Amino acid sequence: EIVLTQSPGTLSLSPGERATLSCRASQSVSRNFFAWYQQKPGQAPRLLIYGASRRATGIPDRFSGSGSGTDFTLTISRLEPEDFALYYCHHYGNSPWTFGQGTKVEVK
């Protein structure tokens, strides 16, 4: 099973700032099978990025993904008020499929 470790646990930033979230895999993951989700309180996760860098339908271009092998990054170029939320990384290659433990982006 691939373990995904996200850092930092919490990111305290102000609106307009740049957010950089990291996810490290315990073994190499094909970038074709790597995704990021956003989750707000009381809501289901929403797919942001898949294939490491492809934005899902309707996702603003301030969200971008990068990385390969064991290290992946989600970048939010300029934080909007609605971007303060939890973010999870996810691999969906061969099962079992796993998620990271999450990074909370909070208002500083």
Partner 1 sequence: QITLEESGPTLVKPTQTLTLTCTFSGFSLSGSGVGVGWIRQPPGKALEWLALIYWNDDKRYSPSLETRLTITKDTSKDQVVLTMTHMDPMDTATYYCTHRIFYDRDGFPSPFDYWGPGTLVTVSS
Tokens of 98: 């796993």
70 burial type by CB count under 10 A (0-12 exposed, 13-18 middle, 19+ buried): middle
Q: Could you tell me the smallest distance in angstroms from the CB atom of residue 16 to partner 1? A: 29
Dihedral (CA of 42, 11, 8, 6) sign: positive
Cβ distance to partner 1 smaller for residue 5 or 15: 5
Stretch that binds partner 1, among 9-17, 40-48, 58-66, 71-79 (CB under 8 A): 40-48
Contact residues for partner 1 (CB under 8 A)? 1, 32-33, 35, 37, 43-47, 50-51, 54, 56, 88, 90, 92, 95-102
